[in-house]
Amino acid sequence: MTQDDRFTEIARKAARDYNDPPELSRGDMDAMWSAIERESFAKPFRTPSAVRPVPGSPWSWATRGILPLAATLMLGVGIGRFALPRPQTAPAEIGPRTAATDTVKVPEPYQNTTSRYLGQTTALLAALPAEVKEGSADEQFLRRAHDLLLTTRLLMDSPAAADPRFQSLLEDLELVLAQVVRLQSIQNRAELDLIRQALEQRDVLPRLRTAVADISADD
Protein backbone atom coordinates (compact mmCIF):
# COMPACT_ATOMS: atom_id res chain seq x y z
CA MET A 1 0.00 0.00 0.00
CA THR A 2 1.46 3.38 -0.99
CA GLN A 3 1.53 6.41 1.33
CA ASP A 4 -1.17 7.96 -0.87
CA ASP A 5 -3.40 4.92 -0.41
CA ARG A 6 -2.79 4.86 3.33
CA PHE A 7 -3.56 8.53 3.63
CA THR A 8 -6.74 8.08 1.56
CA GLU A 9 -7.81 5.27 3.89
CA ILE A 10 -7.20 7.41 6.99
CA ALA A 11 -9.04 10.33 5.41
CA ARG A 12 -11.98 8.07 4.53
CA LYS A 13 -12.25 6.96 8.13
CA ALA A 14 -12.11 10.57 9.29
CA ALA A 15 -14.79 11.50 6.76
CA ARG A 16 -17.29 9.08 8.30
CA ASP A 17 -18.10 11.44 11.14
CA TYR A 18 -18.59 14.33 8.76
CA ASN A 19 -21.95 15.83 9.82
CA ASP A 20 -22.70 12.69 11.79
CA PRO A 21 -26.51 12.46 11.85
CA PRO A 22 -28.38 12.04 15.13
CA GLU A 23 -30.93 9.26 15.51
CA LEU A 24 -34.43 10.25 14.49
CA SER A 25 -36.80 9.85 17.40
CA ARG A 26 -40.33 8.53 17.01
CA GLY A 27 -41.50 12.06 17.91
CA ASP A 28 -39.45 13.54 15.05
CA MET A 29 -40.85 10.96 12.65
CA ASP A 30 -44.41 11.68 13.75
CA ALA A 31 -43.97 15.45 13.59
CA MET A 32 -42.58 15.27 10.07
CA TRP A 33 -45.33 12.88 9.06
CA SER A 34 -48.03 15.24 10.36
CA ALA A 35 -46.75 18.00 8.09
CA ILE A 36 -46.43 15.63 5.13
CA GLU A 37 -49.90 14.23 5.71
CA ARG A 38 -51.39 17.72 5.90
CA GLU A 39 -49.76 18.72 2.62
CA SER A 40 -50.16 15.50 0.72
CA PHE A 41 -53.43 14.00 1.88
CA ALA A 42 -55.82 16.86 2.32
CA LYS A 43 -58.57 14.80 0.73
CA PRO A 44 -60.63 12.49 2.95
CA PHE A 45 -59.16 9.12 3.73
CA ARG A 46 -59.97 6.50 1.13
CA THR A 47 -60.05 2.93 2.27
CA PRO A 48 -58.20 0.28 0.32
CA SER A 49 -61.51 -1.10 -0.87
CA ALA A 50 -61.42 1.78 -3.36
CA VAL A 51 -57.97 0.80 -4.54
CA ARG A 52 -57.46 -1.53 -7.45
CA PRO A 53 -54.22 -3.42 -7.93
CA VAL A 54 -51.92 -2.18 -10.64
CA PRO A 55 -50.91 -4.74 -13.26
CA GLY A 56 -47.96 -6.80 -12.11
CA SER A 57 -48.19 -5.73 -8.49
CA PRO A 58 -47.83 -8.54 -5.98
CA TRP A 59 -51.19 -8.54 -4.28
CA SER A 60 -50.42 -12.01 -3.11
CA TRP A 61 -51.64 -11.24 0.41
CA ALA A 62 -54.97 -10.16 -1.00
CA THR A 63 -55.43 -13.08 -3.35
CA ARG A 64 -53.84 -15.77 -1.20
CA GLY A 65 -54.67 -14.89 2.38
CA ILE A 66 -58.29 -13.80 2.25
CA LEU A 67 -60.03 -15.43 5.14
CA PRO A 68 -63.50 -16.83 4.82
CA LEU A 69 -64.33 -14.13 7.35
CA ALA A 70 -63.34 -11.40 4.93
CA ALA A 71 -65.28 -13.05 2.12
CA THR A 72 -68.39 -13.17 4.30
CA LEU A 73 -67.89 -9.55 5.16
CA MET A 74 -67.51 -8.42 1.57
CA LEU A 75 -70.77 -10.10 0.75
CA GLY A 76 -72.29 -8.52 3.83
CA VAL A 77 -71.03 -5.08 2.86
CA GLY A 78 -72.69 -5.43 -0.52
CA ILE A 79 -75.99 -6.50 0.96
CA GLY A 80 -75.76 -3.94 3.75
CA ARG A 81 -75.23 -1.05 1.38
CA PHE A 82 -78.60 -1.77 -0.16
CA ALA A 83 -80.39 -2.83 2.95
CA LEU A 84 -79.23 -0.39 5.60
CA PRO A 85 -78.81 3.39 5.54
CA ARG A 86 -75.37 4.50 6.76
CA PRO A 87 -75.40 7.61 8.88
CA GLN A 88 -72.71 10.20 8.20
CA THR A 89 -70.24 10.32 11.02
CA ALA A 90 -67.47 12.83 11.49
CA PRO A 91 -63.96 11.36 11.40
CA ALA A 92 -63.04 10.27 14.87
CA GLU A 93 -60.16 12.03 16.57
CA ILE A 94 -56.94 10.15 17.03
CA GLY A 95 -55.97 10.21 20.65
CA PRO A 96 -56.48 8.55 23.96
CA ARG A 97 -59.98 7.32 24.49
CA THR A 98 -61.83 6.17 27.48
CA ALA A 99 -63.65 2.91 27.65
CA ALA A 100 -67.18 3.19 26.37
CA THR A 101 -69.90 3.02 28.93
CA ASP A 102 -72.77 2.43 26.48
CA THR A 103 -73.14 -0.82 24.64
CA VAL A 104 -71.86 -1.22 21.12
CA LYS A 105 -74.59 -1.87 18.55
CA VAL A 106 -73.88 -3.70 15.34
CA PRO A 107 -76.61 -4.32 12.74
CA GLU A 108 -77.96 -7.85 12.91
CA PRO A 109 -76.58 -9.17 9.57
CA TYR A 110 -73.06 -8.31 10.76
CA GLN A 111 -73.23 -9.63 14.29
CA ASN A 112 -71.87 -13.13 13.66
CA THR A 113 -69.02 -11.98 11.47
CA THR A 114 -68.16 -9.07 13.74
CA SER A 115 -68.27 -11.24 16.80
CA ARG A 116 -65.87 -13.73 15.21
CA TYR A 117 -63.61 -10.91 14.04
CA LEU A 118 -63.49 -9.37 17.50
CA GLY A 119 -62.75 -12.73 19.07
CA GLN A 120 -59.87 -13.39 16.69
CA THR A 121 -58.49 -9.88 17.17
CA THR A 122 -58.65 -10.19 20.95
CA ALA A 123 -56.83 -13.52 20.73
CA LEU A 124 -54.14 -12.08 18.48
CA LEU A 125 -53.53 -9.02 20.63
CA ALA A 126 -53.54 -11.13 23.77
CA ALA A 127 -50.93 -13.41 22.18
CA LEU A 128 -48.68 -10.49 21.28
CA PRO A 129 -46.86 -10.29 24.66
CA ALA A 130 -46.07 -14.02 24.47
CA GLU A 131 -44.79 -13.65 20.93
CA VAL A 132 -42.67 -10.76 22.13
CA LYS A 133 -41.30 -12.79 25.00
CA GLU A 134 -40.27 -15.56 22.65
CA GLY A 135 -38.64 -12.95 20.47
CA SER A 136 -39.93 -14.30 17.22
CA ALA A 137 -43.31 -13.76 15.67
CA ASP A 138 -43.84 -16.47 13.14
CA GLU A 139 -45.06 -15.99 9.59
CA GLN A 140 -48.50 -17.27 10.55
CA PHE A 141 -48.93 -14.73 13.33
CA LEU A 142 -48.07 -11.85 11.03
CA ARG A 143 -50.29 -13.19 8.26
CA ARG A 144 -53.15 -13.43 10.73
CA ALA A 145 -52.54 -9.80 11.73
CA HIS A 146 -52.52 -8.83 8.06
CA ASP A 147 -55.81 -10.61 7.39
CA LEU A 148 -57.38 -9.03 10.45
CA LEU A 149 -56.18 -5.61 9.27
CA LEU A 150 -57.91 -6.24 5.96
CA THR A 151 -61.08 -7.28 7.76
CA THR A 152 -60.89 -4.21 9.99
CA ARG A 153 -60.81 -1.98 6.92
CA LEU A 154 -63.71 -3.82 5.35
CA LEU A 155 -65.71 -3.40 8.53
CA MET A 156 -64.85 0.30 8.69
CA ASP A 157 -66.31 0.66 5.23
CA SER A 158 -69.48 -1.23 6.11
CA PRO A 159 -72.73 -0.44 7.90
CA ALA A 160 -71.36 -2.46 10.82
CA ALA A 161 -69.36 0.66 11.69
CA ALA A 162 -72.45 2.87 11.90
CA ASP A 163 -72.13 3.03 15.68
CA PRO A 164 -69.55 5.79 16.36
CA ARG A 165 -68.17 3.87 19.36
CA PHE A 166 -67.55 0.81 17.22
CA GLN A 167 -66.14 2.96 14.41
CA SER A 168 -63.75 4.51 16.91
CA LEU A 169 -62.71 1.08 18.19
CA LEU A 170 -62.12 -0.09 14.61
CA GLU A 171 -59.96 2.94 13.90
CA ASP A 172 -57.80 2.17 16.91
CA LEU A 173 -57.61 -1.49 15.97
CA GLU A 174 -56.60 -0.54 12.45
CA LEU A 175 -53.79 1.58 13.86
CA VAL A 176 -52.55 -1.13 16.21
CA LEU A 177 -52.83 -3.93 13.64
CA ALA A 178 -51.03 -1.80 11.06
CA GLN A 179 -48.24 -1.37 13.59
CA VAL A 180 -48.14 -5.12 14.22
CA VAL A 181 -48.07 -5.87 10.49
CA ARG A 182 -45.38 -3.26 9.91
CA LEU A 183 -43.34 -4.81 12.63
CA GLN A 184 -42.63 -7.81 10.37
CA SER A 185 -40.31 -9.28 12.95
CA ILE A 186 -40.40 -9.14 16.70
CA GLN A 187 -36.87 -7.86 16.96
CA ASN A 188 -37.56 -4.17 17.30
CA ARG A 189 -38.14 -3.45 20.99
CA ALA A 190 -38.90 0.25 20.43
CA GLU A 191 -41.66 -0.59 17.96
CA LEU A 192 -43.11 -3.14 20.35
CA ASP A 193 -43.15 -0.61 23.14
CA LEU A 194 -45.07 1.76 20.88
CA ILE A 195 -47.65 -0.92 20.19
CA ARG A 196 -47.98 -1.61 23.89
CA GLN A 197 -48.36 2.11 24.56
CA ALA A 198 -51.00 2.45 21.84
CA LEU A 199 -52.91 -0.47 23.33
CA GLU A 200 -52.76 0.98 26.84
CA GLN A 201 -53.35 4.65 26.05
CA ARG A 202 -56.33 3.90 23.88
CA ASP A 203 -57.75 1.33 26.22
CA VAL A 204 -58.01 -0.99 23.26
CA LEU A 205 -58.24 -4.34 25.00
CA PRO A 206 -60.90 -3.37 27.56
CA ARG A 207 -62.98 -1.75 24.82
CA LEU A 208 -62.51 -4.79 22.63
CA ARG A 209 -63.70 -7.12 25.39
CA THR A 210 -66.68 -4.87 26.08
CA ALA A 211 -67.60 -4.92 22.40
CA VAL A 212 -67.30 -8.72 22.30
CA ALA A 213 -69.61 -8.98 25.29
CA ASP A 214 -72.11 -6.47 23.85
CA ILE A 215 -72.30 -8.13 20.49
CA SER A 216 -72.49 -11.63 21.95
CA ALA A 217 -75.36 -10.47 24.14
CA ASP A 218 -77.19 -9.23 21.06
CA ASP A 219 -76.73 -12.57 19.22
Partner 1 sequence: MTSPAVAVEAQRFVSREPELIARAVAGDRLAARELYDAHAPRVFRLAFRFCGDAELARELTQETFIRAFAQLGRFRGDSALSTWLHRVAVSVISNAMRKVKRFRARETDLDEAAPIAAETRHADPDLRDALHRAIDELPDIYRTTLIMHDVEGYTHEEIAGVLGVAEGTCKSRLSVARAQLREKLAHFAKEWFA
Instruction: By CB under 8 A, name the binding residues for partner 1.
Output: 3-4, 6-8, 10-22, 24, 28-29, 31-33, 35-37, 39-41, 43, 45-48, 50-54, 56-59, 61-62, 174, 178, 182, 184-185, 187
Least CB distance to partner 1 at residue 31 (A):
8
Q: In the Cβ-directed half-sphere of 13, how many Cα atoms lie within 13 Å?
A: 5
Q: Give CA–CA dist 64/66, Å, rounded.
A: 6
Q: How far is the CB of 185 from partner 1 (least distance, A)?
A: 5
Q: Shortest Cβ distance from residue 94 to partner 1 (Å)?
A: 11
Which C-beta is closer to partner 1: that of 22 or that of 95? 22
Smallest separation, CB 42 to partner 1 (Å): 10
Query: Would you say 59 or 81 has its CB closer to partner 1?
Result: 59
Q: Which is nearer to partner 1, 47 or 201 (CB)?
A: 47
Q: How far apart are CA 123 and CA 112, in angstroms?
A: 17
User: Would you say 62 or 205 has its CB closer to partner 1?
Assistant: 62
Closest CB to partner 1 among residues 60, 88: 60
Nearest approach, Cβ of residue 218 and partner 1 (Å): 30
| Closest CB 143 distance from partner 1, rounded Å | 12
- Specify the amino acid at residue 77: V
Q: Are 169 and 208 in contact (CB under 8 A)?
A: yes
- Which amino acid, one-letter code, is at 92? A
Which residue lies nearer to partner 1 by CB, 33 or 83?
A: 33
CA distance 212 to 205: 10
Beta carbons of 180 and 69 less than 8 angstroms apart = no
Burial class (CB in 10 A: 0-12, 13-18, 19+), 170: buried
Dihedral, CA of residue 162, residue 216, residue 98 and residue 158, to nearest 10: -20
Q: Any residues with CB less than 8 A from the CB of 209 and at least 6 apart, and which?
A: 122
Q: Do residues 149 and 174 lie in contact, with contact meaning Cβ atoms separated by under 8 Å?
A: yes
